[in-house]
């Protein structure tokens, strides 16, 4: 996993727990440590202690990598060279960068031999997958992939990474359609759909959901990385529209930007000031899922305004807590939410539509309760955290 444990990595930890329950013992390996400002889980310290990191490289790492590459032999070197030179969608600089990953691949081989690993499952299709692929070419462990986003997010060289994998998992039907359309002839024989999920025991209410009664503050909650793709400017604009209509609303956002608070967060804070809603919007930063659960317990509405959400663990967590959700219909979200039945879907980038949807929820308490109950039922039935773990366990057993 890249930069583990990050603020969105709770489902990795849940998946690992579920794998253990299925009898699959796992170890953790990551490319590097994440920035301190995005390390939020309560289990992060334990995870970092258990995790082997490929970067930074020590002198002894270079020595071990050199030994591994020598032992691999000329045929392995030629294989790596063929992989790199055959990449058709990378620039010369990209191929040089891929070459520079070989020592990290050799380190992965050395760690695998020391730990007795026979297989590595990669929760990424970018450099982490390149490293696993090159490690396999150096006579290292076999590997598999999980695709969490559109292929374009992960850069070039997808054909080689996918064709050499033992099996691959995609989290939505939309992503499945993309890879079967664009990677024809380069897919492994086993490709399955298995969404990540949430622990429905942990994400469960202590008290029944109470819809907004028109008195006090309307509590709107959102959770996600502070990234342009999450559409927070449109959510902030929607809050401004509600304030202008006289609604006593407060928006709380859990999540941090990718550099720990000194990047995109500053732009969002500035936007709240420009919009005149600074006192109506609170930024929590990266917080553990226990804090997320507490805020969901108090929320009247959960909103995720992403421009294109692959699926949405944050949405699943809110739905598991029986909170009515408003989300955009970009990406794979329609595979999670049926509009009007267990949530409300709006067009991405439409602040007015978000505001109208929030008003629809708070204007009909019975509708709000019905949405929350239906959403909880759907998550329990189809999006528990065991689902992806069971897919990995079954695919490993079949290999």
Q: Is residue 120 predicted with pLDDT exceeding 90?
A: yes
Given this model, what pLDDT does residue 232 score? 98
Cα 139–chain centre separation? 30
| Single pTM value for the model | 0.93
Given this model, what pLDDT does residue 206 score? 96
Given this model, what pLDDT does residue 39 score? 83
Question: Quick one: 291 exposed, middle or buried, by C-beta within 10 A (0-12, 13-18, 19+)?
Answer: middle
Contacts 24+ apart (CB under 8 A), 288-295: 288/40, 288/41, 288/42, 289/10, 289/41, 289/42, 289/202, 289/203, 289/317, 290/42, 291/254, 292/223, 292/254, 292/317, 293/202, 293/203, 293/317, 293/321, 295/221, 295/223, 295/252, 295/254
| First-last CA distance in the chain | 22
Residue pair 170/197 in contact (Cβ under 8 Å)? The answer is no
Q: Domain 218-382: which topology?
A: Rossmann fold (3.40.50)
pLDDT tens readout for residues 286-341: 999 999 999 999 999 999 999 999 999 999 999 999 999 999 999 999 999 999 99
For helices 127-137 and 74-85, the axis angle rounded to 10 degrees is: 150
What tokens does 226 get?
Answer: 């502070």
DSSP line for 203-241: S--SS------SSS-EEEEEES-SSGGG-HHHHHHHHHH
pLDDT over 70, % of the chain? 100
Q: Is residue 36 predicted with pLDDT exceeding 90?
A: no
Q: Is residue 399 predicted with pLDDT exceeding 70?
A: no
Every domain of the chain and the residues it spans: 10-197+385-398, 218-382
pLDDT over 90, % of the chain? 94
pLDDT tens readout for residues 215-272: 999 999 999 999 999 999 999 999 999 999 999 999 999 999 999 999 999 999 999 9
Given this model, what pLDDT does residue 40 score? 81
What tokens does 146 get?
Answer: 């999980």
Mean pLDDT of 161-187: 97
* Candidates 3.40.1170.60, 1.20.120.1780, 3.40.50.2000, 3.30.1300.10; CATH matching 10-197+385-398: 3.40.50.2000
Domains 10-197+385-398 and 218-382 share a fold: yes
Mean pLDDT of 159-183: 97
Greatest alpha-carbon span in the chain = 74
Given this model, what pLDDT does residue 126 score? 96
Given this model, what pLDDT does residue 225 score? 94
Average pLDDT in the chain: 95
Given this model, what pLDDT does residue 240 score? 98
Given this model, what pLDDT does residue 50 score? 94
The arrangement of strands across the sheet holding 191-193 comes to 119-122, 142-147, 168-170, 191-193
């Amino acid at each position: 996993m890249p930069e583990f444990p990050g603020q969105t990595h709770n489902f990795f930890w849940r998946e690992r727990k579920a794998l253990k329950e299925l009898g699959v013992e796992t170890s953790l390996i990551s490319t590097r440590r994440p920035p301190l400002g995005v390390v939020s889980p309560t289990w992060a310290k334990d995870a970092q202690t258990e995790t082997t990191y490929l970067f930074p490289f020590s002198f002894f790492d270079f020595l071990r990598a050199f030994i591994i590459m020598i032992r691999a032999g000329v045929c392995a070197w030629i294989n790596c060279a063929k992989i790199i030179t055959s990449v058709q969608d990378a620039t010369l600089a990209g191929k040089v960068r891929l070459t520079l990953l070989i020592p990290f691949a050799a380190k992965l081989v050395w760690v695998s031999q020391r730990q007795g690993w026979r297989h590595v499952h990669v929760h990424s299709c970018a450099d982490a997958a390149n490293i696993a692929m090159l490690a396999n070419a150096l006579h290292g462990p076999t590997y598999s992939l999980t695709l969490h986003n559109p292929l374009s997010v992960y850069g070039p060289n997808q054909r080689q990474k996918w064709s050499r994998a033992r099996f691959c998992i995609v989290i939505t039907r939309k992503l499945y359609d993309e890879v079967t359309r664009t990677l024809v002839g380069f897919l492994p024989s086993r490709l399955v759909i298995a969404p990540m999920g949430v622990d429905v025991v942990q994400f469960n209410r202590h008290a029944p959901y109470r819809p907004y009664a028109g008195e006090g503050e309307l509590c709107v909650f959102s959770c996600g990385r502070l990234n342009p793709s999450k559409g927070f400017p449109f959510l902030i604009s929607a809050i401004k529209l509600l304030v202008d209509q006289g609604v006593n609303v407060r928006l709380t956002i859990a999540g941090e930007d990718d550099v720990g608070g000194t990047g995109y967060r500053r732009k969002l804070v500035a936007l709240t000031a420009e919009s005149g809603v600074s006192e109506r919007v609170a930024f929590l930063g990266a917080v553990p899922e226990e804090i997320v659960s507490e805020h969901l317990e108090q929320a009247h509405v959960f909103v995720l305004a992403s421009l294109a959400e692959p699926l949405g663990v944050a949405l699943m967590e809110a739905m598991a807590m029986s909170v009515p959700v408003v989300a955009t219909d970009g990406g794979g979200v329609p595979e999670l939410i049926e509009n009007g039945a267990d949530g409300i879907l709006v067009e991405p980038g439409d602040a007015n539509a978000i505001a109208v949807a929030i008003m629809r929820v708070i204007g009909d308490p019975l509708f709000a309760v019905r949405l929350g109950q239906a959403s909880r039922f759907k998550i329990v039935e189809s999006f528990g955290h065991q689902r992806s773990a069971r897919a990995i366990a079954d695919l490993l057993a079949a290999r």
